[in-house]
Chain A
């Protein structure tokens, strides 16, 4: 995949099973956002094929079936949290009661009627996350949804992700915090636009003989260099 004539992703191939919680990890600039954009169908591809839920990425029927949270919160700053969610619910054709549900799910009940421009960074990214939970998405693509959140909220959100996966939703969550990997069923490790691992956390640790994902990442990089 080429962005502005620079090759950003090269020779990346993987498959994510339905109903799983998959983490996409890698250092800043490794291509996580670009890969996610390719999956939701907003990234122009130089070569290659992305298929999502059995359809070509970006095809019209998929637009009802997937939720995408961009890395930078994408909500209207001059609308309140509730007004933002009502609008996106209308666009998705989701029932109005969904709005209250997702506000509670991201813990914004006390801020539902505040303009999102006046929220803190973490609150705003939760408002953005709430949007993706509207309706009944079958696939959720979340780009660093837990950055800047306190540990309690982070745990709650990962619990929510796990529950959604258990109920059959496929989740692909990126992070550059390696310890969040523990919460994933599968891990994709990216480095400089290449996929360097695609495994369950347990197998990854066993294969590299390490005790945490950060160590495993370093081990793979070292092995690749030697």
Chain B
């Protein structure tokens, strides 16, 4: 790994995004619009929004980053730029961390905007400190990024990559505890939800929103989220092969 190359890669990814105004706008605006819509839906049922607002704040960056990263890395594979980079003195980690830095920065901006909106005008009450909410949202986004990176290796077209979203993200969404508390799920599904990373992302968020002093309660699930992120990145690195058939 070379810091110069990692930074250059992050800058390059950000420059690419800068040229794509529409994607950038969608990335930043869509979560805010959805959260506003949700607030409105629950207008007469204040406490409901208080209990699901925070987990959703972690969900949007996760989903969006998953999509953006899987498409971006798939493009890198199919346009030949990855093959070219791998004949150059670029370490696999340079590429992964470069993407991580760039999308991580984007996740910070996205989560900050969304959090400022929910905590301000939308009037979400959370018990824990605001910065912890932000931290968890950003880590959720990084988890989405790492999973997207890894799974893009299994798609050979953008059509397939987009289908990973319902195939991989939706089941996690259904089982993460937002619809039915995880401990009330049928035993088999509960076990399944125990091994899905999004469950822990939501658990960390719930902890932050419900408990005034979330230390050290949210650290457990957050650690699991971090572990999944690192594991997906390592697996992702293994899918970046210098030699292919």
State the A residues within 8 Å of B (CB).
Answer: 3-4, 40-44, 58, 60, 63-64, 66, 68, 70, 72-79, 83, 87-88, 90-93, 115, 131
Contacts and interface: CB of A to CB of B under 8 A. Distances in A.
A76 B245 contact: no
A68 B15 contact: no
Interface stretch (B76-84, B146-154, B190-198, B221-229): B76-84
Given A3-B245, A90-B8, A74 B83 contact: yes
Given A42-B83, A70-B83, A87 B242 contact: no
A37 to B, nearest CB: 8
Contact of B87 (A44, A63, A77, A90): A63
Contact of A58 (B11, B79, B84, B243): B243
A63 B89 contact: yes
Contacts of A91: 5, 8-9, 85, 88-90
Contacts, number: 77
B20 A78 contact: yes
Given A4-B245, A74-B80, A77-B79, A41 B87 contact: yes
Contact of B88 (A3, A4, A63): A63
Contacts of A72: 79-80
A121 B205 CA distance: 49
A58 B86 CA distance: 9
Interface of B: 4-5, 8-9, 11-12, 15-16, 19-20, 79-81, 83-90, 242-245
Contact of B12 (A43, A68, A87): A87
Contact of A44 (B11, B80, B243): B243
A75 B81 contact: yes
A55 to B, nearest CB: 14
Given A76-B12, A76-B81, 17 more contacts: A3-B245, A4-B245, A40-B87, A42-B243, A43-B244, A58-B242, A58-B243, A63-B88, A68-B87, A73-B80, A76-B79, A77-B79, A78-B16, A79-B16, A87-B12, A91-B89, A93-B89
B5 A90 contact: yes
Contacts of A63: 87-90
Closest 4 CB pairs of A and B: A74-B80, A90-B8, A87-B12, A63-B89
B216 to A, nearest CB: 41
A42 B15 CA distance: 28
A44 B96 CA distance: 23
Contacts of A60: 89
A42 B90 contact: no
Given A41-B243, A74-B81, A79 B89 contact: no
A99 to B, nearest CB: 13
Contacts of B4: 90, 93
Contacts of B20: 78
B89 A66 contact: no
A51 to B, nearest CB: 16
Contacts of A76: 12, 16, 79, 81
Contacts of B245: 3-4, 43-44
Contacts of B85: 91
A68 B79 CA distance: 15
Given A74-B79, A74-B83, A79-B15, A88 B244 contact: no
A85 to B, nearest CB: 11
Given A76-B12, A79-B12, A66 B79 contact: no
Nearest to B82: A74
B243 A79 contact: no
A40 B243 CA distance: 10
Contacts of A87: 8-9, 11-12
A70 B84 contact: yes
A91 B84 CA distance: 11
A178 B244 CA distance: 30
Contacts of B5: 90-91
Nearest to A5: B245
A68 B84 contact: yes
Given A3-B245, A44-B244, A91-B89, A74 B16 contact: no
A77 B81 CA distance: 10
A87 B88 CA distance: 12
Nearest to B79: A74
